[in-house]
Amino acid sequence: MVRLSVNRHKPQAVFFVGSGPGDPELITVKGKRLLEEADVVVYAGSLVKEKVLMYASKSALIYNSASMILDEIMKIMITAAKAGKKVVRLHTGDPTLYSAIREQADILEKESIPYEVIPGVSSAFASACALKKELTMSEITQTVIFTRLEGRTPVPEKERLSELAKHNATMCIFLSVGMIEKVAAELLQGYPDDTPAAVVYRATWEDEKIITGKLKDIAKKVKKAGIKRHAMIIVGRTLCQGSRRVPSGRGHRSKLYDKDFEHGYRKRKKKV
């Protein structure tokens, strides 16, 4: 491993960059530029698609953090930043969702190392796009819940799936497909059993796979497909878009482009 010498210059900033859901073209323009400029890249190899590393400089030192603990990751980033090197910490999706950047940021702050967080495309949005569905619809739901099933990481009692399901809003469930039967059982305590459900495996990757059904049968379909990880679960009536199951005239059109809706940029169309 190459050793980085520490100098007395002001530490360089560390950039937490969201690489997006998988497709390397879905990284932001800013994220791509920072990768191109980085001297050191530490990427979450268990999740980040390695193709995105094609944007990194050939001279950059690249570390896969998949087998590292927090102390090892931070030692690399702190040493490099204090040596005046530009560091990119590459996370999957968006770094503000289930990425554990806070614990890394706390250590950087203690070391007086500046940092920035660059947003990325979440797998929730990539999955909705793969389904060609909106997560919100007029008169159906205006609320989206991002959550996960309790596993080794606990969740507050009031945020159990069975409690959140009572809202009947659109729900995007991360990191839980390996327990799909338990997910469905909890959701059925709030949603009707015919509520549309979908599981998108590795959204935007070459081997993307989509499973659709209803809450009462989605677990069986997912088990049959052999999907155990790297998948987003989406549940809610908005998945009925384009279906006759959505009552005629409900949830199809927003007010924004309605001819009778007036706002600051458009006057109401007068009848001729």
- Residues 132-151 have a mean pLDDT of 94
Range from 45-54, 121-130, 253-262 that averages highest in pLDDT = 121-130
* 186 lies in the same domain as 100: no
The answer to whether residues 134 and 232 belong to one domain is yes
CA distance 179 to 58: 41
Task: Kindly state whether residues 33 and 82 are assigned to the same domain.
Answer: yes
Q: Are residues 231 and 150 in the same domain?
A: yes
Quote the domain boundaries for residue 179: 123-240
68 within domain boundaries: yes
pLDDT in the model for residue 150: 87
pLDDT for 78 equals: 98
Q: In what order do the strands lie in the sheet with 61-64?
A: 61-64, 40-43, 87-91, 14-18, 115-118
6 assigned to some structural domain: no
User: What whole-number percentage of the chain has pLDDT above 90?
Assistant: 77
Is residue 257 in a domain? Answer: no
Among 118, 134, 152, residue at a domain's last position: 118
- The Cα angle at residue 167 between residues 202 and 177, in degrees rounded to 5: 25
Check whether 266 has a pLDDT greater than 70.
no
Q: In the predicted model, what is the mean pLDDT of residues 160-177?
A: 97
Mean pLDDT value of segment 175-203: 97
Token duo for residue 220: 């069986």
Pick the last residue of a domain from 118, 147, 164: 118
Residues 97 and 29 in one domain: yes
pLDDT band at residue 257 under the 50/70/90 scheme: low
* 260 within some domain: no
> In sequence order, which residues have a C-beta less than 8 Å from that of residue 11 and are 6 or more positions away?
81, 82, 84, 111, 112, 113, 114
Question: Which residues have a Cβ under 8 Å from the Cβ of 208 and sit 6 or more positions away?
Answer: 130, 200, 201, 202
Position 247 scores a pLDDT of: 47
Average pLDDT, stretch 154-172?
A: 95
Give domain status of residue 8, yes or no. no
Say yes or no: 127 and 218 in one domain: yes
Q: Which of 61-70, 79-88, 198-207, 247-256 has the lowest mean pLDDT?
A: 247-256
| Cα→Cα distances 190→14, 163, 169, 185, Å | 43, 7, 10, 10
- C-alpha span between 110 and 106 (Å, rounded): 6
Residue 243 has pLDDT above 80, yes or no: no
Domain identity same for 69 and 155: no
Q: Is residue 217 part of a domain?
A: yes
Q: Which of 90, 118, 146 is the last residue of a domain?
A: 118
Are 109 and 136 found together in one domain? no
- Which CATH number characterizes residue 167's domain? 3.30.950.10
Claim to verify: residue 110 and residue 130 sit in the same structural domain: no
Which pLDDT does position 46 carry in this prediction? Answer: 76
Question: Residue 245, Cα to own-chain centre: how many angstroms?
Answer: 29
CA dist 115 and 158 (Å) reads 33
Q: What is the pLDDT of residue 241?
A: 78
Question: Is the per-residue pLDDT at 129 higher than 90?
Answer: yes
Domain identity same for 102 and 138: no
Is 149 inside any structural domain?
yes
Predicted TM-score of the model (pTM): 0.86
pLDDT-derived band of residue 255, with 50, 70 and 90 as boundaries?
low
Q: How far apart are CA 41 and CA 64, in angstroms?
A: 9
- Answer whether residue 271 is part of any domain: no
- Across 103-117, 148-162, 165-179, 184-198, least confident range: 148-162
- Average confidence (pLDDT) over 176-194: 97
Q: Count of domains in the chain? A: 2
* pLDDT for 256: 62
Segment 199-235, tens digit of pLDDT: 999 999 999 999 999 999 999 999 999 999 999 999 9
- What pLDDT does residue 48 have? 78
Q: What pLDDT, on a 0 to 100 scale, did the predictor assign at position 123?
A: 97
136 lies in the same domain as 231: yes
CATH of the domain at 51: 3.40.1010.10
Residues 127 and 216 in one domain: yes
pLDDT digits (tens, 9 = 90+) for 25-50: 999 999 999 999 999 999 988 777 78
Average pLDDT in the chain: 90
